[in-house]
Chains A and B, each alone.
Chain A
Amino acid sequence: MKKVMAVVAAGAMVMSLGMTAMADEDKTLVMATNAEFPPYEYREGDEIIGIDAEVAALIADKLGMELEIEDMAFDSVLAAVQTGKADIAMAGITVTPEREQMVSFTDTYTKATQMIIVTEDSEIASPEDLTGKTVGVQLGTTGDIYAEDIEDGTVERYSKGFEAVQALIQGKIDAVIIDGEPAKVFVEQNEGIKLLEEAFTEEEYAIAIAKDNEELLEKVNTALNELKEEGEFQKVVDKYIGGDASEEETEAVTEAQTAEAQAAEEGTEAATEAAETEVAETETETAAQ
């Protein structure tokens, strides 16, 4: 196969890029992600933080490697792993049979749901009401794939989740289907939209690794299970969504209210703001350890 691709000039270019990425493979663990997916991964200043980013750092520690995060569009994340541009992909990736054909998955680490966001005055009250509606999704997410099955529905695929939410607020679409945790953040930070209680689908997240890289798969799986046993994993989750979430949520809500106008216009800005409180807490915790 490599030979066939090398014949085509474009293919050859892709390959050579892949090769250079593989050169320093043994020292750094390159993680592909889409840092627009709070609380799993999002930008805070120059850094990418979130559950996935922190867990990946812990795994890299265990493997004695240094973590390097590559931020890209979600629909490129799995391709990056497949072509060797990244070693692992963590981007709240749901395990689906189609995806399993293309990459290997580690053990799952989080249960997740696809939730439906609608405007507060919307007539949509359950997933069944989506028939014939225009639904916004993030391209390549499981929400996108499942939304295609909505009867007579139109699917609008945005590159970023917050753009779909923005389109919903502006009345361009009827609903947004997106992963539960980011959905909660979006709803907290924007006025006039709400979550439907009934989830659209339920699913599980896992780390994706290239098919032929079984050695790494095994190592990451071991590290991930160790983290789960030691409770380190839960600590990270708690930091972002866990135990004292109710407190954090109220904080985020007040903040969202003060930054109302701003939030309506610029979802990401507000996301970073709300995240600041959480990060401050994160930092004190680490210092204590």
Chain B
Amino acid sequence: MLQEFQDRFYLNFIADDRWKYLVNGLKTTLTVTFFAVLIGIVLGFIVAIVRSTCEKTGKLRLLNAVCKVYLTVIRGTPVVVQLLIIYFVIFGSVKIDKTLVAILAFGLNSGAYVAEIIRGGIMSIEGGQLEAGRSLGLGYGQTMIYVILPQVFKNVLPALGNEFIVLLKETSVAGYIALEDLTKGGDIIRSRTYDAFMPLIAVALIYLAMVLVFSKLLSILERRLRNNERR
């Protein structure tokens, strides 16, 4: 039995250098996730601030409407469909790097969810804080940046971390546009060896390991941010 296991391991990962599909796929998955997270955070913050500013002060109505449309469209459609639309429709007749397409698609997608998480965080800070900031002579923007957002960031960190874990795993559909990410790497091995068990379990374990490392980093960050609360 051990021998058979060894044989299958050899066939799936060692023969023909098949492990390279997984390593290259992992690189792609990490690149896409990393840049998509960056886009997601930037976009999410901007949308959240526009939305909460409009709700609190009644300004930026036009921008708010644009943001609402963005949220509805992105949250109302599956990410696979968005990915395919960006690749085959929006960039319909252009030769474009598929990694870039994936980063854009997942970044845009993540931004919508991050926006709502952060807006929730901003709305959860009591109104008195804003008033206190303003009465101390800070402008609205300054109060946001120096008083509200630091607290928001700490409060939404668990939810934000969750969103990024989801994003990391969601990139597994990138294979739909023939991008060779980790999942696709496993699929290619599967299509060569016709063995389902080894490649799929290997891919699953790699995702699990990445999420474990990421969760660990997050919990360290959370503890750091809570240092000032300890008395």
Point out residues on A near B: beta carbons under 8 Å.
1, 3-5, 8, 10-11, 14, 74-76, 78-79, 82-83, 98-99, 102-103, 136, 139-140, 144-145, 156-159, 163-164, 166-167, 170-172
Contacts and interface: CB of A to CB of B under 8 A. Distances in A.
A79 B175 contact: no
Contacts of A145: 192
Contacts of A102: 193-195
The interface centre, meaning the residue of B4, B195, B197 with most chain A CB atoms within 10 A of its CB, is: B197
Interface bracket on B? 20 to 34
B176 A157 contact: no
B178 A158 contact: yes
Interface stretch (B39-47, B87-95, B109-117, B210-218): B87-95
Given A4-B5, A5-B197, A98 B192 contact: yes
A103 B184 CA distance: 23
A167 B190 contact: no
Contact of B194 (A5, A103, A144, A156): A103
Interface in B6-39: none
B196 interface: yes
B178 A167 contact: yes
27 contacts: A3-B1, A4-B1, A5-B197, A8-B201, A10-B201, A10-B204, A82-B194, A83-B196, A98-B192, A102-B194, A103-B194, A139-B184, A139-B191, A140-B188, A140-B190, A140-B191, A144-B191, A156-B178, A157-B178, A157-B180, A157-B188, A159-B178, A164-B178, A170-B88, A170-B92, A170-B94, A171-B93
B96 interface: yes
Given A82-B196, A140-B191, 18 more contacts: A1-B1, A3-B1, A4-B1, A10-B201, A76-B190, A78-B194, A79-B195, A82-B194, A99-B194, A102-B193, A139-B184, A140-B188, A145-B192, A157-B178, A159-B178, A170-B92, A170-B94, A172-B95
B47 to A, nearest CB: 31
Contacts of B93: 170-171
Nearest to A79: B196
The interface centre, meaning the residue of B191, B200, B201 with most chain A CB atoms within 10 A of its CB, is: B191
A179 B112 CA distance: 42
B206 to A, nearest CB: 14
A83 B197 CA distance: 10
Nearest to B4: A1
A164 B176 CA distance: 11
Contacts of A82: 194-196
Nearest to A2: B1
Contacts of B188: 139-140, 157
Contacts of A8: 201
